[in-house]
Structure 1
């Protein structure tokens, strides 16, 4: 399998609960009712937030910013008709650290959104994506 190919297996457990295993061997449980685990649509938000967070933290570390904590709050707004796809997704980054330079955070968020976050780039083809950030002094 090439470096450009990823795979996963999803197995039914019971009711509408499934266990997914990535090709790298990591597992997560998903629940169509969102009672015992995240729903598949929630997993998309988690994927977007974690993908973008990897970018933002990595870029800030390369810029030698003293980041202590980074949180990404993701809100997805869905259409009312089935299939209830996302129409808007907003990612808000809360970056905590010492003497964090705002221009570095702004640049990191923009680079993630415009260039690096493959999940967000895939979503933006049909979803209105937006981003914001806050900086908190440690």
Structure 2
């Protein structure tokens, strides 16, 4: 995998993934930015949340479970002093589907956390990473 980062001005950068997709990265005004894009550490949280959600949806669909929506709320704590690494990351899944079983969602989240999600497993080497979920059945 490859990625490219191009400095534009101040603390504004354009990121391009190896697959050709772009993202604007910027800092807050107090660090010389104009708040035009996502922060670098936010990108890490977006990456871990989407990596794990990808797995959960894939596992549920492969098992032919009736999943109709999946959201992940990612929260994190950082060290107080530089390099201000993440010390805790929590992923809360809200998975929706008519008749979707808690057991199926639990299994999918667990498989993602322990076997498939490269991002959360990698970040788990440096931070405490936890997962939980809720199942929403629109028929209830």
Q: Look up the match of 2:44.
A: 44
Deviations 1:30-70 (A, max 9, x none): 11327211100000000000000000000011111111110
2:82 counterpart of 1:87: no
Instruction: Give 4+ residue runs of structure 1 displaced > 2 Å after superposition.
Output: none
List aligned pairs for 1:26-37, cutoff 5 A.
26-33=21-28, 35-37=35-37
Alpha-carbon separation, structure 2, partners of 1:64 and 1:128: 32
The alignment partner of 1:87 has SS state of: strand
The alignment partner of 2:81 has SS state of: coil
Q: CA RMSD in A?
A: 0.9
Deviations 1:110-137 (A, max 9, x none): 0000000000111000100000001111
Higher normalized strand content (fraction of residues): 1
Q: Look up the match of 2:12.
A: 17
Unaligned runs of 5+ in 2: none
Q: Look up the match of 1:120.
A: 120
Unaligned runs of 5+ in 1: 1-5
Alpha-carbon separation, structure 1, partners of 2:44 and 2:37: 13
Alpha-carbon separation, structure 1, partners of 2:108 and 2:62: 10
The alignment partner of 1:83 has SS state of: coil
The alignment partner of 2:120 has SS state of: helix
Q: Look up the match of 1:97.
A: 97
Q: CA deviation at 1:8?
A: 0.6
* Count of matched residue pairs: 133
The alignment partner of 1:70 has SS state of: strand
